[in-house]
Structures are given as C-alpha cells and as structure tokens.
Amino acid sequence: MTVNWAAFATAEPDLARTVEKRFGAYTHHLLATLRKDGSPRTSGLEVRFLNGELWLGMMPDSLKALDLRRDPRFALQANPGEGTGMGGGDVRISGRAIEVDDVETKAGYVEEVEPPEPFHLFRTELTEVVRTYVEDDTYLVVQVWKPGEPLRTIRRT
C-alpha cells in the first residue's frame, strides 16, 4: 500500500511537520535508487513539498532518473547537517517515484520552483516514514509509520 504526502500528513500531522522541517533545513539530501544490476546508487537531490505531494526533480537523463524509470523504488534521507546535533532527528522516506509527464502539472511545478529546464519530475508514493532521535539524553527513539498502520514508537536505552 502506498499513499501521497497529503494522506501521510493527514494521518500523522505532527510527524509530517517534523519531517518537512528537517528537509527544509537544508537544500540537498540523499536519494538511494537501484541500478540495473540491483545494487544501490546514492545521489544528491533537492526535494519539494507542494500541493500535498513530495516532488523529486532531476536533470535530464541523470542516472538517478533513469534508475527510477526502470525501478521506481527509492529511499530519501534528510541531510543530517553539520556536527552531531541533527535538530529534529534523522528522517528518511521510502516509497515509489512516479514520473510526471503531464504538461499542466509540470508547468505548475515550474511556476513554484523555477527549475532549470528540461527536467524529470517525479511524484512520490510513500511506503514508510522513519524518524530517529535522542530523547532526554537517555533514549534512542525510533518512530515508524507505514500506510494503513498506526505510528509505532520504539524507545531504546
């Protein structure tokens, strides 16, 4: 089961705000895709949260775009920032990236983001959102959300 960003934000608004804040703290993040042979590829990427969707924009014929065209599965890790603070915790999103060729949708994206053209545009369908953080300098807390399931929180000492 997959859902878009709006469905996730409706189901878990507090976690969604935290995740958006973490991604908003830095411009570049880390995208993992799958190569032809199934091995992982990591690439830098800018992301946008617009109109209830999480968007991935990419340069034409970039390897990450070609990977996603072939196999839409991805993992997206927020930039941890400098040092060890990671304010708001470490967040990652997994799911499927669906390329958007619709002229009207791409035009709306261009109006908001002004990317260099031409470009690939992918809309995401989420399968998992995870936040990991330290609470009270004592507990490692892991929050795991999957579509159709309640938020699961695990605390470790």
Q: What is the mean pLDDT of each run of 10 residues along the chain (157 residues)?
A: 95 97 94 98 96 96 97 96 72 98 92 90 98 92 97 95
**Cα separation, 42 vs 79, whole angstroms:** 13
Q: Which two tokens stand for residue 57?
A: 């924009």
5-131 CATH, one of 3.30.56.10, 2.30.110.10, 3.30.1330.10, 2.60.120.10 = 2.30.110.10
Contact between 122 and 60 under an 8 Å Cβ cutoff? The reply is no
Is the pTM higher than 0.85? The answer reads yes
Domain boundaries, the chain: 5-131
Q: Which two tokens stand for residue 112?
A: 């908001």
> For residue 82, what pLDDT is reported?
79
> For residue 89, what pLDDT is reported?
86
Q: Which two tokens stand for residue 130?
A: 């995870």
The strand ranges marked E within the chain are: 29-34, 40-45, 47-50, 53-58, 73-77, 90-99, 120-135, 139-145, 152-156
> For residue 84, what pLDDT is reported?
61
> For residue 146, what pLDDT is reported?
98
Q: What SS3 class is residue 139? A: strand
> For residue 83, what pLDDT is reported?
65
> For residue 102, what pLDDT is reported?
92
Among all chains, which residue has been given the structure tokens 């991604």? 23
Strand 139-145 and strand 152-156: the pairing is antiparallel
CA proximity to 91, closest of 119, 54, 65: 54
